[in-house]
Structure 1
Amino acid sequence: MPNRIGSVGRRIAYYRSVARPKMTQQQLADAACVALGTIRKIERGERGVTDDTLDTIAAALGVDPSRLIADREHVASRIRDALPNLSAAIASYDVPDDGPVRPLPELRAAVAQATAWRLAAQYLQIARTVPNLLAELARAAQAPEGAGNPELAELLVTAYRCADSVAYKYGARDLSARLIELMRWAVLGADDPLLSAAVSYVRTETFFAARAHAPGLRALEQALDACPAPVGRPAIAARGALHMRAAVIAGRAGRDDAADEHLAEARALGDHVPEGIYQGTAFGPDSVRIHEVSVAVSLGDGHVQRAFDVAREWAPPRDLPAERRSGFYIELARAQLWGGLMDDAFESLKVARRIAPQHTREHPWVREDAATLRRLKRADAETLSNFAEWCHAD
């Protein structure tokens, strides 16, 4: 235990020193609402740190909590342990327990924070906070003053999406499907066709999980038919995101023509808006480039040159969401593996891990590719074995 305590303190001190701008111990204490003396003792390895305190320090530093502890399995266990609370919260979506309800601006800020965690692939923070947030939003919607409020419906949809990101990434596919159905139910109260398009984007997860690619493509094409005309940035982004998603699932359905058509539409729409977050989804020229790699991988190993062409000239900028950037390198690694570029594939997996460790560790392709690399012994044996053990590769 003393070694573990010391290693946590050293990591906190390191991330505090490399923060931009650099943080003093007092600034970290203030940001994390922790006593200065406590921060000093933790960094010196003189006292342990509870999970809650670790999470607040990580949030203050702007890093994933898993970066501060040596036992990465501990983070995954905490997320999985929280899934029953998430199930309980949605089981009572229409009959919530009594409790406090914050004013609407505070609820809006809490949902925005959860969305920021989702985009940053910080699933532990979502797992810890969203179950209570969903219950509170349900109480707000059931209250007389909240009934029929479209903004509350929008906040519920957005919070369900955050919860779904944890369920889907951590393999709780039935829970994920239930959350998506609740999104489809709640969005009716928002009366916002652009938000409905975002829900259709997320719903594609259920088709990916079931390998029902042809029905998934049909569902997205129906969503495109219902999507408002691309007038104004939000509407352009909504259509563009649906085309990106349709291109990928068309590739997995073996529909090369449809994949290319949807990707071309996404590219044309992406040229008309700046990269940004629209209805909770990243869209713009950079996101389209990432999906060019996704489509190449979806079409199979005969199309890897398309992925290499993108990666040769471009890399995701740091201001893109961490989840999307790590996904780029995970898919690039698969293309490199198919192309016989074993060392490059391992480097891409390591970059994905640095960007978003929680996302990378739970991705099934990462486990498959790490297992293949280890079996072929095409990288440093010890380093590769450590990586494979980290992501539980067979």
Structure 2
Amino acid sequence: MDAEIGYLTPGRTRRRSIARTIFAGSIGNTVEWFDWTIYTVFAIYFSNQFFPSQDTTVALLATFSVFAIGFFMRPLGGWLIGTFSDRHGRRSALTLSILLMAVPSLVIALLPTYSQIGVFAPILLVLARMTQGLSVGGEYGAATTFLTESAPAKRRGFYGSFLFLSIALGLLIASGIAWVLTNNLNRTQMELFGWRIPFLIGGLASLIGLWLRRNVDETQAYKDMANKGEIPKRSLRWIWRHHRPAVLRLIGTSVLPAFSFYLFVSYLPIYAIQRGGATPEVAFRASTVSIAIFMCALPFFGRFSDRFGRKPQLIAFACAYLFFLYPVVNSVGSGFWSVLLVECFGLLAYGLYASIAPAMMAELFNTEVRAVGIGAFYNVVIALLGGTTPYLMAWLQSINLESWFLVYVCAGAAISLYSFIEMPETRGKTLD
């Protein structure tokens, strides 16, 4: 019996260690994307308090412009925190990124309004949001390197799948809290204090994530590099000069993904309402269910890539969008199942990519520039393409040409498909 216990204990310890690693690497994404999302979800309730105007639309647009500013801080965050990660370690970068999200969330939760402190209210809101943009941009590269460097080579796709799973979980929690608050507080209560509650929850949850991350081990890949001596400083120009094929491959493979998630989470429900005749309740219920299905599918897609390779999934993802996106989206109707099936097509196809994106990106770069290489260049693509998506969609809708956005996405699918076909298979590659 003792021998049995002694035999089983290392296995339990290892499983516990794996769970702790995945949880520590993922929890920050859940909290950060919760904090990032609640700004847009609750903007309608606090916009007039920071940007007072007789026209509520003007106040709301001003509030969303702050969102855009935060979005375009992401490349800077990817560069700064990525460089910090490559110089001082993955654990330190994870701690920094979640701290940069926790403090601004608490600041926004407690921030006096324009009527109380005047112009300082919107200024502080902008600064808080810019800091959160730095955090989100840095979190992606830091969490990607931590999860993939912590994984055994044969399970890197599975480990990496929890990155986007945690992002989807953050969105679901934000949606759930919005539902609870709006069903229990009236409009006046939401404007007075209700909108502050999710920011307070997010800030406190970030502090818990901060504590968890401070107690995880540094990755072995980083330890091995650090043990060799002084870690060299590498600029983005140096990375471009010495890792140009990897950078170009990262950019090409990120074009379609920059659209995909925003297309089906943000755009499709509105498209179903305006073009398909669905009610808002039906459209958003289908969207919520599809995100839950997408989230559950990711670990299975990650395992699949560990067994059969990265390229088959990536090529299938791009082909699905290139050949079927336009007719599938335009087939959306007013019923729940019609909207759900279209949502599932888009998100599950995207899941083929999202589940293995961290592993694929980590396998492009070596340890000394992995975090900054991923964080900086990926976030540039996301800012330029994903960040402009809401404005482009709104403009096309205003001139009744919203279907042309689908053509735009299909062009992105062609670019990424070419990149996926040309890239080498990296399943099982040893990270150097």
Q: Do Structure 1 and Structure 2 share a fold, with TM-score over 0.5? A: no
Tell me which of the two structures has the higher relative contact order, counting C-alpha pairs closer than 8 angstroms and 6 or more residues apart.
2
Q: Which has the higher helix share?
A: 2
TM norm structure 1: 0.28
TM norm structure 2: 0.26
